[in-house]
Every structure is written in structure tokens, then in C-alpha cells.
Chains A and B, each alone.
Chain A
């Protein structure tokens, strides 16, 4: 049930408009079957390029055995689409990492600005919205696809800093959207009111006790106001009791407590965020999500893999440094493993009020800001797609020859019925949306 349905529901209950914030602020109630299958999009990001020879399938066409980095996804390869040969062709201000990150989903230049990278000219934020936000705004503009949040931006280990290396989502020009890296903060955003409501419900009885007590203290004339107050409290108790009857489809996930937002906790933080993401989908709080692992030039030290080097520094090592390359493969394979956890979780969750699983109605895009770390190339950027949400033909690799990634953005927009002619930089949209179905 989306927000509009909920409002009608509340109107039927005869609650006043003034009561709306209390009830409407709550998570979704039950979910009825939608008229059309839901379409959801998850964009997962990991940084610093991939290791091409251990990532890309050897040839185009049907997927056979996957290379080491993609190997964790072996069970899902028939639900997978690998796009090889997409390039981020946006030029202008900013170094390769900055443009790699901030133009990845926007497909448009950065403003000139005051942030200096390791090379090139300083730059600011992107000049336009990112594709996840574009699709979110499209879905939110229509009653049948509107949800409480529209989109949710999850982060894992993103540093607490705002610059073009840390932001890939943009609500519009100069409007970066910050991912939430702290699962507890995300939990508070998703379910905070539920706890507030519960706390409130349990103290109202005491409030009435207090009012009963003071009623005895005041004069007969003043008693009237106290009695009126008492009846308001009773009314609120009833409204809350009423709202409590309408349960969430699934309860909020039980999060491990006290996991601090720091490097060594990244594996736990990752799972907590994925759990929250899937949970928010079941309760239909959003149809679009991003899941951003660290940031461009991210320096995660994956001690849990036995890799104590900084990720970005490693990515700069030459190809012939086999030790470094092995470590990079390990790192990227770990990301694929997290992706597999997400896929499994979606695949194991039935679509509410419908047949199939969440995975059948979700498209996951795993991408990166660079093609390859050592060369910092913006060509051959990894795009691995999973899931049935957008009606693309799966189980294969498509080989392109350095075509602009804007055309992929267009394909995503068109797949949800948002038939825009261009996205990002218009010149980079020549040829129209990629044909993926």
C-alpha cells in the first residue's frame, strides 16, 4: 500500500487531518497486489577499477564459467547480464576519479570549483541529476509507484566528507545526495517512529494518571480544562492502538548492536545495510536504492581478507606486480560476495502480494568509477546486471565498442516507462537507449 492508499485508508477510519502526521509517518502497512509488477532498481558501487583479466568473460554471448572475481555469482549467472565496452566519456573539470564518480550516474560534466584532485583542474559538483534520482523522481511523480521515501541511499564505510569523490547520486545540479553509512541512522530513518510510537503508547497511561491526580488539586472551574485534556489523551491512545493493529509486512530486522562505523567493521556493516535494504523493499518504502562501498579513491584495508594495504594505493600498482594483482582480485571478489548476499536475500524473499521473489522484480547494477585502477581509464567500466526487474535479456555478455554510458542510463529510464530522449550530456546520447531486452 503506498502513501496515497494509506491516506484513503485513514480517511475511511474517520481520523482528522490533524492526526495524519502520527499515522502517516509510520512505515507501510500491509501490501496489496499491485496492478503492474513492481520495478525496483539497486545500484551497487565499489571503487578503484577492476582487474580486467580476472573479471570480464572471455567472449560475448551466453555466459559460461565466470572469471574469479565474478565467481561468487556462479549460481545466478543465468540471471546476469554483463555489459562490456561502456565508457564514461564525460570530460571537463576534475580528475579521473572525480569524473569517474560524479559523472558515473549523471553522465554530465562537473561545475568548475575549488576541489583539486591529483591531476587536471579543480572542480565542483555535477551539473545534473543522477539516473537513480531521475528514476526515483519519475516513480514518485505517479501515484501507483509512489512510496514513502522513493529512494534510499545506503553507504558502507563512506568517509564523513562531502566532495565529488564521495558522491554519485545527485538530485539535480549542485545537489549531491549523501549516502547514510551508519545502519543505526538508517534504521532510525526507516523505523524510528515505530519505536517512538511504542514508547508513547506506553507512557500515555502514566500521563492519564498524572492528570487524574492534578484534577483533584484545582478549582472546579479549572477542572474542565483538565478533563478536556484527559479526553484528548484517551483519544490519542485509541488512535495509536488502532495504528498498532495494522502490522508491517515484515518486522524491522534485528540489528547487531554497537557496531561502530569503522574500517574493520565493514563486513558487518555491509550485511546490516543489505538487511535493511531488503527489508525496506518488502515494506515498500522505496523502489530505488544505492549501495555505495567506500568511495572513489577509497582506502579500505580489508584485514578480514588478509589484505592490510589500502585499496586505492594497491590499485595503482603495475599489472606485473602479481602480489598486488592477487590482492586486488581478492578485494573485488569480496565485493562480488556481498552482491551475492544481496541477490540471495532478494531471491529468497517472496514478492509481497504477488508471485515470485523480490529478485524477479528488481534490477541490480554493480558498477565502478574506473575501468581499471592502474591506468585510471574511464573506458570499459564494469556494469554487471542481475535480476528480472527491467525485462532485460539475461544470461549473457554484450560487447560494445567504447560507447557512451549515457545510453545505458537511457535504457534504464525507458525500462521503467520514462521515455526521455537524452540523459546527461545530450551529445553522448546519440544512438538512443541501448537495446538490452
Chain B
């Protein structure tokens, strides 16, 4: 097992946007020289004494170092091919050069030489600012990402079908109407109640005495499904009776087994749903002379096991259907750590075309609903025409120009044979148009509608709603405060929650966990159900923190509590509760520390049989502490069998990473990883390994050269909260997930400004989100600028 390989798989976007090159998964990692093998060969006395006192750093570099590092630190093939970029301070660079350079003769480039060369490197190309000056990134024209297409289309059609995202009320479950007849007619209604879950054996318990007998039984459940993640959902109904299940609309049942076959059978159906929305759900059951009478309704969400639909995902509130595009799209580019629409390919063009056809067919099939008119009505044509006008301008997120009106509406009505035909053409054309497919076409002269669009895509990955549109039309999107007020309003929308959750999943690499399983002998009981519940537990914690009364970043890292259901409580030895739902517990004497010690992540960053301080350490380094790591220089396999059996994991990892060129990074990674050794491969607290007490102590050297003593997760959390670079990492990741443009395109100091206001707001996560969206929305690109400007 090559752990480097695995590290590449779990690696997230690093601290610096610039120096993250897409690291392809490789089967074999090419051996490269050590990180920062600064080749100060031949540091001659002449050069050092050249200009009275201080040597010329640039000259020194060009003459002494460029041979291996390139004239501009870009690297040299077959010598040192990595560009000289990083986040160390000048002091650290100096010390490194003094100690290690030149590679073959360390100790000959010291004192003023080392200092001036370090300063030259730092200012010219090494530091983030140097790189920004050299090649400032810009806000790119992008096409909609797949996620944005799904949301935009759903909301675009929702405008006309009258469906819009609603938030659930506090009540959970489905409303059940019980009838003492096989037909659901009001005369036989005997009972109405809210059922928390659908999992009943009516043979054992009759809901109402009037419902006895084999042919006097039917139930009608109604309500909504609360969906968190986007993807394919599979539904399962187990019953021997007649059932019909409608998910997301009455057009066609997802499961239609009204005619039963007498035996207990599992029926299933699949449907694609978009996260952050509610969908109407209706389930009808009837019994007629069937021998048994029972039903269970289960689902399998993406990334989870098949399970009874939990109470928290059911609401008795009625909602209207959402249109979900079923055309599959090729995956978006995410090589820089976030999905962005920077490529147009043939496959993408065809997907947009097929989706446009799918949508146009849907619109024409429901034209009466969308236009609120009847086919034979005298005003049909007027209604259809004005629908097209509204549809196209909503799709373009902008009122239409006269030219657009002609091309997109008038011409299509001229050429279409019937009203239906004209609509179909107008819809097809709108959805194939760049004004629909791209974001940023008007960046060179953004008006209020463009600002509205940026806010909406920033917070929702979707179109502006009516309120935003109205504000744009009234010219009320000019000041920072106006934008912030809109953004704060928009936070309450479930789409903002869904987008935030997607960001948090990315930050915690939860979107990378594909298969999590543990050795059954060592960890009996660590079942698929446990894994699924752990993920739910972490989601509940994230939601609770981000959207609770005090949305504090520090809670994410420091909470000494977590949410568990009884299954988890029993497995982890936490106190159980009386309900079957997730409740808050404060286990392990307050040693837990937010996401750092959440058992889902501890398990995900572990091997099947042992912990993995390296996986844990790399995650902490990159995503929590905020330090950049280069790809590993050599491929090293972790083979447990090669170590003496009585060694602890800490001892094995220490031995494995002892070589000097490993230590460049592992001096950072290992102490972080070791400090979580109190938790085993499934995240249970432990005090010993191999009958020896666990050692979690370690010294962590910050990028400023300060040494911090770590004894456990809580120390890491404390250090991260106090560290600018840690906060920067979090802010940058949020920025990239939300805005989907490089943060430095908005100015070199934007990150610092965001961090300062974040700290000043007591680490308020919601305020940070608002700040990020407003900053990106209000941004004006320089008209004159092409790709390079001087700061």
C-alpha cells in the first residue's frame, strides 16, 4: 500500500492558490531532490566582498543558484524542477540556506550572503506577494458549473410554476390520513396524525379499531422530503400491500405497485434531487384481502446507506415540485481545489444541448401552467409571448435589449408554426445562449443586475430572486451596506445552507471519502450503519454551528460536544438517550475538539487496522493549520509487516519518515498527526497502544519559526485559532468555494482584510460569508487591464 498515493487522493487544495498545480494521481511518484534544495554551489569569496559590505542578492542567485533553480526560480529540469515558492519567512529561508545550501557543500553560504540571497528569492518570486505582483490573477469569464445549472434551471422554471425554495417548519414527519376502507374517501377517515417515520407492522398494531378486517384499510401520507445533498436518491418500499409513491410531483409515481403480488416485496425507484430543497412526497397504501399488512419506506441518499428515511428529513409541510434536469453533464474542472467552469468541451456542449431540449419539452408539455392560459383562449398568443419574454430575461438575469428581444422572441414567433413551436424555440435558444451559460460577460461594465447575479450565484449558485431583481431595477445595489443587507436576507434561504454545507464538506474533505471500512476483526460493529450515522452526526454538528445562534469558527475547532444517536452512543460508549434521534453529548471528559476529533474524520484519515498519523497530519497541516505542502519527493509504502510487531504507530511513522528529505515536510506533519494518537482508527478514545501509554506530545514549528508544544487536539485548535495563516486558509477556502474565482483576483490584501474583520466579528462564520460575497459582488475589474498590471 503506497501511502503517498493515498495522500494524493485525500489531498485538498493547499494554502496558496498559485503554487497548487494539479497533482495527477500517479502510480509511481518520481524521485525528486529534496524540497528547497537550494543549490548555492560555488559561493565564492569574490562575490561576497563585491560591493562594500552587502553582497548583491540577485547577482549571487543568478551566478550561484540559477543553475539548478532557474533564472527566475522556476526550476530546472533534471536538477530541481519545482519552482521556488512557499510560505516560509525570510528568516527561515536564511537559516535553511545556511544549514543546507549548497546541496553538496552546506555551510559555505552563510551570513550576509545567505540573508541577501534569501531576501532576493523571497521578494522576487518566493513569497505569495511576489508571485501576485508578477502575475496577478484576474476574474475569469466562466460558464455555469453543473451545480449552478441544476439550481438555475430549477429556479428558472420555479418562477413560472410558482414553486420556490421554502424552509421547513420545526415539525418533523409526514401527515398520515388513515381510512377504514380501501378507498381514501373522507367518509371513512378515522384517524389523522403525524408519523415520524414510515415503518409499520399494522398486523401487530392496528392504528384504529375501525380499521380491522382485511378490506377496510388504506393510508395516505403527505408532506415533504428535506434533501441535503445533490445526487441520485433511491427509494425502497417493503410491503405486501398495494402502494404508490410520488416523489417530487404528481405527474408520475416513482413506485407504482398498486396491484400487489401477495408476497412481502421490496420495490424501488430512483430519482435525482438537488440538495438544499424540499420535495413533495406522497405515499398511499391500501390493503385488500392481503394476508399481511405492513410497510416500510426507506431511502439511500448519495454517500449513505439504505435506511429508514430519518425523521429529520421528513416535514408535514406541503411543497410544490422542483424541476430537476436529468441530462448528465461531464464533471467540472476542479484542479485548483474548487469547481469552476473554465472549459467548454464537446461533451459539455452536447450536454447543454440535451438539457435544453429536455427543458424545452418540459415547458411545452406544461405550457398551460407556465403561461397561465388555455390553448383555445383568445389571449393565448399574448400570454405565451409575454411568458417567453419573462423566461428569457430571467434566464439571462438581465432585462432584454431591443436586439435580444428581436432575436430571442420576435424572430422565434415569426418562424415557429404554432405557439408551442415558438416557445420551444425560444426556450432552446435561451438555454443555449452565452447570456444564460456564462457568468461575467458584463464584467467590464457591471450594472445592478450583474451585481444581483453575483450575489445570487455567490450565496445560492442560482439566479437572483424577485427581491434581488427588484432591488437591481430600483438601483438599490450600490453601497456595500445595501449589498450586505441583501446578503444577510439571502442567508436564510435553504440554498445558502446547501452551498455552505458543500463548502464545509470540501474543507473537511468529506467530498473525497469514497469507501470507508475497517477491519472487521479489530473493529467489530463498525458497520455501514455506523459510518452513515457518523457522517450524519458531523453534518448535524456543522449545521448547528454554522446556522446556530452563535456561528463561531472557534466552535468548529473546539466544541467539546458532538451529536450522536443511540447506535453511535452504544458503539462509542457515550451516554444513550431516550429518543431515536441525534442528541448532543459531551463525552470523554471534555477532551474532544470539534471537527479535529470527530470520529468520522478520525476514521476517514486512518487505515483499516491502524490510525494514520500521516493522513491526519496532512489534513491538519493543509486545512486546519494552513501550511502548504509540496508533493512528496519519493514514494514510500507503509508496510506494517516490515516493522517489529511491538512498535507503536508513532514509532513506525517516525522510523519511516526519518530521512532528511522526508523531514522537510514531516517535521510539520508528524507532530500534528501524533497529537491525535489518543484516538484509534475508528475515533474512539484510547490511552494505550501495544500496552504502552500513548505519547501525543510534539513540537510544532510555525512558519515564523516559533516552536509550540502540542499535547493533543485542543492544542492544535488553539494554535489554529491564533494563527493568521490558519485563518487565511479557512477564509481562502470559503472564498474559493463560494465565489469560484481566485481570491487574489480581488486584490492582494483582500485576504488580510477579510481576516481582520473576521477576528473583529468574534469569528462569526455567517458574517464572514456575507463579507466574502459582498467583496466579490462589488468588485470592479479594471477596464484597461488585460492580463498584467503593476500594483
Q: Which residues of A are in contact with B by a Cβ distance under 8 Å?
A: 16, 18-19, 21-22, 111-116, 121-122, 124-125, 162-164, 174, 192, 196, 199-200, 202-204, 206-207, 209-211, 213-214, 217-222, 225-226, 228-229, 232-233, 235-236
Contact = CB atoms under 8 A, between A and B. Distances in A.
Nearest to B415: A202
Interface string B340-358: 0011111101100110010
B288 interface: yes
A196 B259 contact: no
Contacts of A113: 242, 259-262, 290
A218 B444 CA distance: 7
B353 A124 contact: no
B138 interface: yes
28 contacts: A18-B346, A18-B350, A22-B353, A22-B354, A113-B260, A113-B262, A114-B262, A116-B288, A121-B289, A163-B259, A200-B353, A203-B412, A203-B429, A206-B429, A209-B407, A210-B435, A213-B403, A217-B441, A218-B441, A219-B444, A225-B141, A225-B343, A226-B141, A226-B434, A228-B344, A229-B344, A229-B349, A232-B344
B259 A125 contact: yes
Nearest to A224: B141
Contacts of B259: 113-115, 124-125, 162-164
B588 interface: no
A174 B787 CA distance: 64
A219 B349 CA distance: 22
Contacts, number: 133
B195 interface: no
Interface stretch (B169-177, B228-236, B420-428): B420-428
Contacts of B749: none
Given A113-B262, A217-B442, A200 B407 contact: no
A307 B290 CA distance: 40
A164 B261 CA distance: 11
B346 A16 contact: yes
A221 B787 contact: yes
Contact of B346 (A122, A211, A232): A232
Given A21-B350, A218-B141, A232-B349, A210 B361 contact: no
Contacts of B411: 206
Interface of B: 138, 140-141, 143, 215, 241-242, 256, 258-263, 286-290, 342-347, 349-350, 353-354, 357, 360-361, 403, 407-408, 411-412, 415, 421, 424-425, 428-429, 432-435, 438, 440-444, 785-787
A209 B287 CA distance: 60
B438 A214 contact: yes
A18 B289 CA distance: 52
Contacts of B349: 229, 232-233, 236
B786 A219 contact: yes
Contacts of A233: 349
A13 to B, nearest CB: 15
A124 B260 contact: yes
A248 B241 CA distance: 47
Contacts of B353: 22, 200, 236
A210 B421 contact: no
B290 A203 contact: no
Instruction: Please report whether the interface of chain A is mostly helix, strand, loop or mixed according to DSSP.
Output: helix
Given A22-B350, A111-B261, A199-B428, A122 B786 contact: no
Contact of A210 (B140, B345, B433, B787): B433
The list of the 7 closest CB pairs from A to B, nearest first, reads A112-B262, A222-B141, A111-B261, A114-B288, A124-B261, A232-B349, A203-B429
A232 B343 CA distance: 12
A218 B139 CA distance: 12
Contacts of A174: 261
A220 B786 contact: yes
Nearest to A220: B786
A114 B289 contact: yes
A116 B288 CA distance: 8
A232 B350 CA distance: 9
Given A111-B261, A199-B425, 9 more contacts: A21-B354, A111-B263, A113-B261, A113-B290, A124-B262, A196-B360, A206-B429, A217-B441, A221-B140
A240 to B, nearest CB: 10
Contacts of A121: 289
A226 B324 CA distance: 27
* Most chain B CB atoms below 10 A, which of A192, A202, A235: A202
Given A196-B357, A218-B141, A203 B262 contact: no
A192 B289 CA distance: 44
A233 B241 CA distance: 52
A18 B256 CA distance: 34
Nearest to A204: B432
Contacts of B354: 21-22
A16 B349 CA distance: 13
Contact of B434 (A163, A219, A229, A236): A229
A125 B256 CA distance: 13
Contacts of B425: 199, 202-203
B140 A222 contact: yes
A111 B263 CA distance: 9
A199 B347 CA distance: 20
A162 B347 CA distance: 39
Nearest to B253: A162
A114 B260 contact: yes
A342 B241 CA distance: 41
A214 B434 contact: yes
A108 to B, nearest CB: 13
A114 B286 contact: yes
Q: Which of A22, A203, A207, A222 has the most CB of B within 10 A?
A: A203
B441 A235 contact: no
Give the residue among B140, B349, B411, B443 with the most A Cβ atoms within 10 A: B349
B432 to A, nearest CB: 5
Given A199-B424, A203-B425, A206-B407, A214 B786 contact: no
Contacts of B785: 219
A174 B408 CA distance: 48
Nearest to B350: A18
A174 to B, nearest CB: 6
Contacts of B260: 113-114, 124
A177 to B, nearest CB: 13
Between A111, A199, A214, the greatest number of chain B beta carbons within 10 A of the residue's beta carbon is seen for A199
A222 to B, nearest CB: 4
Nearest to A173: B261
B97 to A, nearest CB: 37
A21 B354 CA distance: 9
Given A210-B407, A218-B141, A122 B289 contact: yes
B444 A217 contact: yes
A232 B347 CA distance: 10
Contacts of B412: 203
A162 B256 contact: yes
B288 A122 contact: yes
A346 to B, nearest CB: 31
Contacts of B421: 199
Given A112-B262, A222-B140, A196 B407 contact: no
Contacts of B261: 111-113, 124-125, 174
A225 B333 CA distance: 14
A233 B354 CA distance: 13
A214 B344 contact: no
Contact of A211 (B262, B434, B786): B434
Contacts of B289: 114, 116, 121-122
A174 B256 CA distance: 11
B342 A225 contact: yes
Nearest to A122: B289
Contacts of A214: 434-435, 438, 441
Given A114-B286, A116-B289, A203-B429, A196 B442 contact: no
Contacts of A200: 353, 357, 428
A113 B787 CA distance: 71
Contacts of A209: 407
Nearest to A197: B357
